[in-house]
Every structure is written in structure tokens, then in C-alpha cells.
Amino acid sequence: MSDSKWDGFMALRYSKRQDTLTKIFDKYQDYYDKVATQFVAKNRANRRRYVRLTGNHDTYIEQDRERDLKARVEDRLGVKVIDALRIKSGGQIKYLVIHGHQFDESGRSTGASRSPRASARSIRNASPGATRAATGSGGRATRDAGISAPRFANALSGTDPLPYPHDAAADLALNNLANIKANTRAFVETLLGKQVAWEYFENADAFNALTLEVWKGDETYKLRHMDEVKLCQQYEAKYLALNTGRPIPTLIVGHSHEPRERATYTEGSVVHTIDFYINSGAAGRFENLIWCVEIEGGGERIVSWSKINDRLTRITWKSSHGLLEHESKVAVSV
């Protein structure tokens, strides 16, 4: 495609994006009004701060053609949209808050991407100052996870597929059910090239999940798209290489929609517990369940919000043997 045709195509594309943004503002006017008045203006008056971070849906937000889109969002909310937030205590950076797509090769946006090395450097160069993976729920975690699921998986996920001991494509073509049934998880992951979040299915057995849910069109796969194990290993290594002499700041991300706090991973026969990584889970992705991270009094905790018996309920969670479990539950009057 010639440069002139490409420029014309891009101009049309961004014109459509401007139209879409206008429709979003119009349709969700109440939401933007509430953020601008209740969170931005009110917090500013009380010497507090509302922060808006970029995510993977803010694609190319720093590119020349889309800076006007970013400017419109900032003008509508009354705040700057930033890539990372550093939270400091006692003159040192204690938390680095970032959406997380920056560590996801498939979800990385050009303007906002940071590698673990760049994120570690952003800590060093800063000026000093201030899911659905339920176990034991007895039901669909997406519909009532905050209500009936007492525990959630709390192990760091990877993305590499399990090794399949046969030719997966040939077994698929020949309908070799014996091989597939004996190694279902590895078979599917090898074909897809990514690790699958099997705990999202109603059937614990992978072959039953494949035949009774996927092949019938009832469910599809959730692929692991952010390798938390590699992320934590690289983040720690890059930060320690900076030789700051200070504790590694806690990295808080979202993106993968699965809450983590003091999560574990196994390397050989050794179980590692990661103290410097927290995943805030999802906000608004699942019905009747919002996850968040609260930081207060020098500590942090995983919290979920849901309606139980028509009452808004706040639940705090604690890490225990590779699981997140209920710590306390309080009904809130609103």
C-alpha cells in the first residue's frame, strides 16, 4: 500500500475512533460525571488523588495520531492518564502500580509498554517522596464467586503449554481419542500454543471439559496470556541488579483478572512464595464480583465486593497454602 493510501486509511480509522469516543462519552455520561465530580474534584479538595492508568484497551494512546483521544479523556475526567504509579512511604518507593499488559507480549500497547527492566529502572530513577479460579465452590465461579466460593487458586500462572508426547496435529486429524484422552491438557495446549486455565470449566477432568463443553460450544478456552512466574523472576532479577540497597518494591498489576497475594510457584521440588507481587483481580468482568487491593497502615490486602442476600458485602482474603481464603466478611450499608 502506498504512503498516500496508508495515510488516508489511518485518517479514516482515527476519525472513526473519535466518533466512537464521542458515543462512549454520551452513553456513559453519568459515569464520567461521577468520576469527575465525586472522585477527581472531591478528592482534590480533600488533598487526595484519583489516578487513571493506561491499559491494553488504550492501544497506541501515546502515538501522534491518538494524542487528541488521550487529551479528550483527560479533559473529560480532569486528570492526566499515566502509565505507572509509584507509591512511596518514608521517602522510598514501596509499590509500583501498573495495569500489567506491559508484561504481556500479546496485549502490549506501543505507547505504554514497559519491560520488567524498564519498570525496575522507573523505580530507581523516581524522585524520593510519597478470578474465576475457584476451588470448592460447588458451582460456577463467574456467577457467584464472591458468594459461594470460599477459596481461590493463588499459584502464579505460566504460559508455556504442557509437552505432548505425540504428534498433536496427527492425533487430531486421525481422531486418536486414546492419545488425546490420556494427555488432554497437553494435547489442547500444544495445539493452541499456550497454557489453558482449566479451572474455568465446570468439569475438572480436561477430556470432559473438551468434549462436554468446548466441542458442544458451551464454553471456550481462557488462554494464559501473562506469564506471572517469568514476570516475577525477571522483575526481581532486574531490580536487584540495580543495587539500590533497598527492599524490592511490591509490583501491583491486574490484566490477567486473577487475584494473587503471596502467591506460590514450584520449581523442581522447591516451592517459592512471592512477597513482592500482587494481582488485583478483575473489576467488572464477572457478574456480582469486583476484586481490588487496599493499601492501608503500611500493609496491603486483597478485597472482594459482591451482593450477598441483596446486601453489599466486603470480603477480605488471606493467602494459605497456595489458596486465597476468606479472612473476614462484612455487610456494608449504602
Q: Which pLDDT band, with edges at 50, 70 and 90, does 9 fall under?
A: confident
For 309, the 3-state DSSP assignment is: coil
Q: Which pLDDT band, with edges at 50, 70 and 90, does 151 fall under?
A: confident
User: What local confidence, expressed as pLDDT, does residue 297 receive?
Assistant: 81
User: What local confidence, expressed as pLDDT, does residue 268 receive?
Assistant: 87
Instruction: Tell me the DSSP string of 55-104.
Output: -TTSTTTTSGGGHHHHHHHHHHHTS-EESEEEEEETTEEEEEEE-SGGG-
Q: Rounded to whole angstroms, how far apart are CA atoms 14 and 6?
A: 12
Q: What is the pTM of this model?
A: 0.79
Residue 108: closest CA among 98, 96, 95? 98
User: What local confidence, expressed as pLDDT, does residue 279 receive?
Assistant: 94
What is the enclosing helix (H) or strand (E) of 241?
helix 228-241
Tens-digit pLDDT profile for residues 157-176: 888 999 999 999 999 999 99
Evaluate whether 153 touches 135 at the Cβ level (below 8 Å): yes
Is the alpha carbon torsion for 165, 168, 174, 179 positive or negative? positive
Tens-digit pLDDT profile for residues 107-116: 544 444 444 4
DSSP state of 293: E
Confidence check: pLDDT of 137 > 90: no
Letter string b/e over residues 199-215, b meaning 16 or more CB atoms within 10 A of that residue's CB: bbbeeeebbebbbebbe
Q: Rounded to whole angstroms, how far apart are CA atoms 252 and 114?
A: 14
Q: Which pLDDT band, with edges at 50, 70 and 90, does 141 fall under?
A: very low
Confidence check: pLDDT of 87 > 60: yes
Residue 194: closest CA among 316, 106, 125? 106
Tens-digit pLDDT profile for residues 269-325: 999 999 999 999 887 666 788 899 999 887 899 999 988 888 899 999 999 888 899
